[in-house]
Amino acid sequence: MKFDFVGGWASLAHKDFGIYLLAARDVLVVMDGGLGGDFSKEDRPLTDLAKAEQKSLETVGVQLKVLWRYGIENYVSRAALEAVLGEDLSLYFPLPETVAVSNHLVRPDTKEPFYRKSDNAKAARRLDLERDLSLPICTRSFTK
């Protein structure tokens, strides 16, 4: 199993997955729901951008899945985020599914965000399989 960073929706169309197909039986691309899901609708259908990318990837044998929530960080546990940020986040939980975490974790007095996408790697290292991934946080993680 190999993990790689796509670089966001803007980079997806320019990414060459052919190299992965030479060495792998299956290639799966997982993208965030921020630009991939239509959050104005309850069933969060794929956006036109996501549909176009899905069709393009299917032609080369690559499967695209779009997260149900806004971004990968919307799945990170409170404990992991608190460990990274070093503060109690009880006022901010549960995280909203349809808003970027960086737009949600904002200081009330200054309106400045105190979580950045660059913190994702640190937060991922703080995840605990028993504590965080056994919970039903990912039950609706992909759109249909």
**Domain boundary, last residue among 43, 66, 89:** 66
Could you tell me if residue 82 is inside a domain?
A: yes
Q: Do 79 and 119 fall within a single domain? A: yes
Could you tell me if residue 2 is inside a domain?
A: no
Tokens matching residue 73: 């960080």
Could you tell me if residue 139 is inside a domain?
A: no
pLDDT of residue 5: 84
Q: pLDDT per position in the chain (144 positions), as tens?
A: 778 888 899 999 899 888 888 888 889 999 999 999 999 999 999 999 999 999 999 998 999 999 999 999 999 999 999 999 999 999 999 999 999 999 999 999 999 999 998 999 999 999 988 887 664 444 334 444
| Site of tokens 């950045």 | 116
Owning domain of residue 125: 72-131
Structural domain total, the chain:
2
Q: Do 82 and 46 fall within a single domain? A: no
Could you tell me if residue 141 is inside a domain?
A: no
Q: Do 62 and 81 fall within a single domain? A: no
Q: Do 55 and 18 fall within a single domain? A: yes
Tokens matching residue 49: 């951008």
The tally of CA atoms less than 13 A away on the side-chain side of residue 31 is 28
**Domain boundary, last residue among 25, 45, 66:** 66
Q: Do 77 and 122 fall within a single domain? A: yes
pLDDT of residue 76: 92
Which residue in 11, 3, 46, 52 sits closest to 28, CA to CA? 3
pLDDT of residue 134: 62
Stated pTM of the model: 0.82
Mind spelling out the 3-state secondary structure of 79-139?
HHHHHHHCCCCHHHCCCCCCCCHHHHCECCCCCCECCCHHHHHHHHHCCCHHHHCCCHHHC
Could you tell me if residue 142 is inside a domain?
A: no
